[in-house]
Amino acid sequence: MFQEFAGRWEALSATAQDVIVLCLILAPAVLVGLAVTFGYRPLPLVGAMLWRFRWTNLMFVLLIGTSVGVGVGLLAQERGLRQGTARAADKFDLVLTAPGSEVTMMLAAVYLQPTDAPLLDGKLFNEIADDERVSIAAPLAFGDSFAGAPIVGTSPQFVAHLAGAFSQGRAFAGQYEAVAGANAPVSLGDQIVPAHGFGEAAEEDAHEGTTYTVVGTMNPTGSPWDRAILVPAEAVWAVHGLGTGHGPGWDGAVGPPYSELFFPGTPAILVRAEELWANYALRSEFTRDDVMAFFPGAVLAQLHGLLGDVREAMSAIAVITQILVTAGVLTGLVVLSRLYAQRLALLRALGAPLRFTFAVVWSYAAALILGGAVLGIAVGYAAAAVLSRVLTARTDILVTASLGWPEAHLVAGFISLTIILALIPALSALSRNVVRDLRS
């Protein structure tokens, strides 16, 4: 029976499952609403009550909206960041570096975070580059920058692999030609002098006399590489006095093959295999004493797994915060209901059933909760959009946070729980002394 149900559930599309879960979460609220208001028309009175103390009610809605918005925004942002970082690592199938921390080297190779790393030699580079299972083996040489943008030495094959077609110009062909990421602070035709190092420690005049000409601009990739300036690895080696990576008689054509003897070394090599399975074999074969091979996607998944616990904690805190705020608001409603006490007493004097008076107070509280929840979705969406822009600007990782089913489920859960909690002020209103309220 259970297996049959599980099978049918699995057969449903993800959207259908999400819709069903949403309906199930909302069901308690809908059932309570129907049970409380069935047969009555409390809405005109609720509308009058809402308008009567509109500024106080608006304050309650803002409070609920803010707390819901924080929860929704956090969830959406976390997912957007996860997707953004995964997308940024998408082009990096396998990375080879000197043995050390996979996380550190992933941050350096994929996210262009500055780091000091030991170099891999030419013998090792050619070993991987000459492997028949490998389609691309590209050196990634870091260390220089221009106007805060990293300059990375690599091969034309990597440029084509990273960005595909160019938005302007072409790939570099000469030793001192450069191509710019979509958001790099240079334009086609600019001539730039590289600085040695990054940020405030960069030595602006260390490479005086070296000039790169920007010959192309890449399409956006949604990764930190959009701010990078890519140049031939030969140029990076040459400006550091390490030769060109090619032996005597080099014809000036940039890119592999490099001379094993004259290869100065590279902190990282991006590898792309012809077949997916080959990546696993290569990772196994190139994980040894002198080299480390790792999948950035797998390292990222591990990081996301660790952050997943934080995400769960953040979600729980967000829900608890929402419930606390709503509990505060509902307590406020108990107090606020005293302002309506005389009108509610009038209803009871006129013979209104207890359930009708109950329905009026409950519907009033439910209207505030629903208003707050709707506002919260808008606040969460806006907060996620703003945070995405800030994060994208600061990390160059394209973070696109949009509201999805997890947020819908969170808001639905909040609505269901708090709408049931709203029974408390409604019950509280019924316990008041009718005659005393009529005389007040």
Partner 1 sequence: MALSLAVDELEVTGEGGRRILAIEHLATPAGSCLGVKGPSGAGKSTFLFAIAGLLKAAKGRVSWGETEMTALPQGARARFRREHFGFVFQDPLLFEEMGASANASLAAAFLPKARRNGVRATADDALRTLSVPGGRRRADTFSGGERQRIALARALAADAGVILADEPTASLDRQTRDRLVGDLMELVRKDGKSLIAVSHDVDLLGVMDRVVTIENGALVAA
Vertex 199: Cα angle to 224 and 113 (nearest 5): 35
Query: What sections of 195-295 are H helices per DSSP?
Result: 233-239, 276-285
Check binding of 35 to partner 1 (CB under 8 A).
no
Check binding of 288 to partner 1 (CB under 8 A).
no
Q: 195 vs 367, which CB is nearer to partner 1? A: 367
Residue type, 67: S
Least distance (Å) between residue 331 CB and partner 1: 25
Q: 117 vs 430, which CB is nearer to partner 1? A: 430
Q: Quick check: helix, strand or coil at residue 161? A: helix
Check binding of 336 to partner 1 (CB under 8 A).
no
Least distance (Å) between residue 353 CB and partner 1: 6
CA dist 133 and 117 (Å) reads 27
* DSSP letter (8 states) at residue 199: G
Name 166's bridge partners.
218
Binding mask 340-359 for partner 1 (x = CB under 8 A): --xx--xxxxxxxxx-x---
User: What angle in degrees, to the nearest 10, is found between the helix axes of 405-421 and 14-37?
Assistant: 20
Least distance (Å) between residue 47 CB and partner 1: 7
Check binding of 47 to partner 1 (CB under 8 A).
yes
Vertex 399: Cα angle to 406 and 283 (nearest 5): 95
Total residues in contact with partner 1, by rule CB under 8 A: 27
Q: Binder to partner 1 among 2, 5, 38, 51 (CB under 8 A)? A: 51
Check binding of 434 to partner 1 (CB under 8 A).
yes
Q: 41 vs 123, which CB is nearer to partner 1? A: 41
Query: What sections of 207-295 are H helices per DSSP?
Result: 233-239, 276-285
Distance in angstroms between the alpha carbons of the first and the last residue of the chain: 61
Token code pair at residue 345: 């007493």
Q: Quick check: helix, strand or coil at residue 3? A: helix
Check binding of 38 to partner 1 (CB under 8 A).
no
User: What angle in degrees, to the nearest 10, is found between the helix axes of 341-349 and 354-395?
Assistant: 150
Pairing of strands 134-146, 268-273: antiparallel
Which range of residues in 35-43, 55-63, 100-108, 217-225 is near partner 1 by CB under 8 A? 35-43
Q: 184 vs 359, which CB is nearer to partner 1? A: 359
Q: 12 vs 435, which CB is nearer to partner 1? A: 435
Restricting to residues 354-393, which ones interact with partner 1 according to CB under 8 A? 354, 356
Q: Binder to partner 1 among 30, 48, 201, 335 (CB under 8 A)? A: 48
* DSSP letter (8 states) at residue 266: B
Binding site for partner 1 (CB under 8 A): 39-42, 44-45, 47-49, 51-52, 342-343, 346-354, 356, 434-435, 438-439
